[in-house]
Structure 1
Amino acid sequence: MKKIIFTGGGSAGHVTPNLALIPKLKERGWHVHYIGSKTGIEKEIIERAGIPYSGIASGKLRRYFDWKNFKDPFRVVKGVMEASWIIRKQKPDVIFSKGGFVSVPVVIGGWLNKVPVYLHESDITPGLANRIAIKFASKIFVTFEEAKRHLPADKTIFAGAPIREELLQGSKEKGLRFLGFTFRKPVITVMGGSLGAVRINEAVRELLPKLLPNYQVVHLCGKGNLDPALEGTSGYRQFEYVSEELPDLLAATDFVISRAGSNAIFEFLTMHKPMVLIPLSRAQSRGDQILNAQAFEKKGYCHVLQEEGLTPAALAAAIQEVAENKQRYLQNMKQYSGEDTLKQILSYLEKA
């Protein structure tokens, strides 16, 4: 039996592409194991999916000063030792890493055990974890073709974004019924990422009185970000996080307001959902979401609103622009096809 170890975590975006590949590999008879952190979001997601999971120590890789920076390298070293032991025990044929700080010890552990390591980079420029992991990788799959110029040419393969098939099998009727919404008004889904987005949450909630006469709003606001005062508001539903119902919820969605994490926006693109993208600012990130959003805007998939200019009035204008030009956005999106992504990655994994 062929064996594979997956890794990736820290946010849902470092986990969900793995969930697109895992069922396909199981269908082909592969044994799958997952290594992540002991307490991260990946543990909850992967264990809920019934996939064998091992937790290791991990230290966050920061670009800013923090006293934890002096302690976390030791946690990374401990994580490498723990990952190496798991890899020796599991004896995988290949390791597939989606990135995030927890993946670094696993990638290094794979390299120490002479196991081929394949990375997947979602953004146009690689994150810090993948920049470290590149040295130990056999192949690097990229989502954006523009990413190839930032990575070693002899290792890099343009593949696209692995999309979970179940997302494409949702039912609009079930989604509206779950939400308690009607067919009479379009549905806007607001997603700030698995960890939420405070400024987006605030702008959307302030804008609700003007939105709800014309739209119904689903608000995925992140853990701990529910507003009890808005419970029971007609045409508005808020959730910290949605899992099993997400395909139906997205099937019922007409427009999306979102951050610009690569995996999420490629899912919206595949499902033909016109978007208002509000990327993380450079003050909060390395600017990867800004580049993602710019690439999508250039291809006519979305309207971009920079966080520095995010006000309820600016958000209302962005929603109106997307609504008025919905057919143009849909036509552009229909030119995109990601059908070969899973086949291409699976082919390389089989060869490994």
Structure 2
Amino acid sequence: MTSTSNVRLYQPKRIVLTGGGSAGHVSVNLALIPVLREQGWSIDYIGSENGIEKELIANLPGVSYHAIATGKLRRYFSLQNFTDPFRILKGVGQSRRLIRRLKPSVVFSKGGFVSVPVVLGAWMNRVPSLIHESDYSPGLANKLALPFASALCTTFPETAASVKSGKAVQIGSVVRPELKSGDAARGLQFLGFTGNKPLLLAAGGSLGSRALNDNLRRNLDALLEQFDIVHLCGRNGLDPQLEDRAGYRQFEYVNEQLPDILAAVDLVFSRAGSNAIFEFLSLGKPMLLCPLGRKQSRGDQLLNADSFVRAGYAEVIDEENWNDAEFLSKLDVLQRKRDLYIARMNAADSGDPLQQLLRQIEETAS
């Protein structure tokens, strides 16, 4: 009879992922999940009850989704600032109980307001957590969570240098591998375009941008003389009056067909969220960036855009001093010098950030 003291029981590796509020706070998790599954990890995801992360994650095979109460961390006055702290405290309690029950080896946080209670819940259970910051400057949620985390993985090297806690590790941008598997012919067929004109992608992020949408549509007549246009206009951003406009296709959000559409795209007009612009960089898509200004944000997109302009990957246009003629001129220059921008992008060597992040997760878990 074998002694139980000599039997080593196998316990599968378990990871809790979190992050939400926008697609940018989910994209790295979407890149990680298939690889983690291949490596035998048991995967749980803690997100909000109604956020975009639930829409993107809850039905994925091999992932158990757990919803918690959340409250937004605002830098401006709102009546909800008086009630959301109680929702955050409720979320901390829910996360603490969930993590105690799940017993993960590690928690990985992509940021966003839902992530703070989860990192705190992990810390209360003495479970190590790892945070990822995509932007040039850390967001408020990650700043609040950092004291309770083991390490902060950064995209920009300047971000790692600015973190004084000694916890920062620069790994680069993690891009979903499936985005590189698109087929341009399928993308054009899906959109109903012939490919006779260059294809311009306009994207204001998963939540949309009214200003970006309005600026594009106001110049639609002039743009359609030169481009076919696919417009990802975000939630509630569709314009029914433009539904049948020749050379123009609009969607709130595209998921399954996105790799094929991106393969067909020649130029991009976009906000300057880090995850999106690094995806465009990895695919060699020259960009005209319209970053959120300091009146609407902490200024992180301005820093992201400035970094890309200095590297020669993009041009930028100022939303707060918008000029239609400048907009059309910069797109024209970007198209004429497209090969130069692509050559600079192809020369950028970021190694394999996904594998670096996976190693960091393993080290943190152990």
TM-score (norm 2): 0.94
Query: What residue in structure 2 maps to residue 222 of structure 1?
Result: 234
CA positional deviation for 1:337: 2.7
Q: Which amino acid aligns with 1:218?
A: V
Query: What residue in structure 1 maps to residue 84 of structure 2?
Result: 72
Work out the CA distance in 2 between the residues paired with 1:225 and 1:111: 40
* Aligned positions of 1:58-69 closer than 5 A: 58-69=70-81
Question: Alignment partner of 1:154: what SS?
Answer: coil
Q: Which amino acid aligns with 2:81?
A: N
Work out the CA distance in 2 between the residues paired with 1:314 and 1:45: 37
Q: CA RMSD in A?
A: 1.0
Work out the CA distance in 2 between the residues paired with 1:77 and 1:194: 27
The worse-fitting range, judged by mean Cα deviation, of 324-333 and 47-56 is 47-56
CA positional deviation for 1:338: 3.2
Matched, 1:181 2:181: no
Query: What residue in structure 1 maps to residue 272 of structure 2?
Result: 260
Instruction: Pick one of 41, 48, 53 that aligns with 1:42.
Output: 53
Instruction: Pick one of 68, 78, 101 that aligns with 2:113.
Output: 101
1:160-210, CA deviations, whole angstroms, 9 ceiling, x for partnerless residues?
A: 111101000000000000000012111000000001111111111111111
Q: Which amino acid aligns with 1:196?
A: G
Matched, 1:33 2:44: yes
Q: 1:203, 1:311 within 8 Å by CA — same for their partners in 2?
A: no
Work out the CA distance in 2 between the residues paired with 1:266 and 1:165: 13
CA positional deviation for 1:153: 5.0
Q: Which amino acid aligns with 2:195?
A: F
1:71-128, CA deviations, whole angstroms, 9 ceiling, x for partnerless residues?
A: 1111111000001111111110000000001000000000000011000011111111
Matched, 1:2 2:13: yes
Work out the CA distance in 1 between the residues paired with 2:311 and 2:199: 24
Query: Structure 1: where are the runs of 5+ without partners?
Result: none
* Aligned positions of 1:333-352 closer than 5 A: 333-351=345-363, 352=365
Query: What residue in structure 2 maps to residue 308 of structure 1?
Result: 320
Work out the CA distance in 1 between the residues paired with 2:126 and 2:174: 26
Work out the CA distance in 1 between the residues paired with 2:109 and 2:80: 25
Query: What residue in structure 2 maps to residue 298 of structure 1?
Result: 310
Instruction: Pick one of 19, 26, 40 that aligns with 1:15.
Output: 26
Aligned length: 352
Q: 1:123, 1:292 within 8 Å by CA — same for their partners in 2?
A: yes
Work out the CA distance in 1 between the residues paired with 2:19 and 2:232: 22
Query: What residue in structure 1 maps to residue 6 of structure 2?
Result: none
Question: Alignment partner of 1:55: what SS?
Answer: strand
Work out the CA distance in 2 between the residues paired with 1:48 and 1:227: 29
Matched, 1:198 2:210: yes
Query: What residue in structure 2 maps to residue 327 of structure 1?
Result: 339
Question: Alignment partner of 1:211: what SS?
Answer: helix
1:221-244, CA deviations, whole angstroms, 9 ceiling, x for partnerless residues?
A: 011111111111111000011010
Question: Alignment partner of 1:131: what SS?
Answer: helix
Work out the CA distance in 2 between the residues paired with 1:153 and 1:161: 21
Instruction: Pick one of 128, 132, 142 that aligns with 1:116.
Output: 128
Larger Rg: 2
Work out the CA distance in 2 between the residues paired with 1:183 and 1:241: 22
The worse-fitting range, judged by mean Cα deviation, of 205-214 and 286-295 is 205-214
1:296-319, CA deviations, whole angstroms, 9 ceiling, x for partnerless residues?
A: 000000001111122332211110
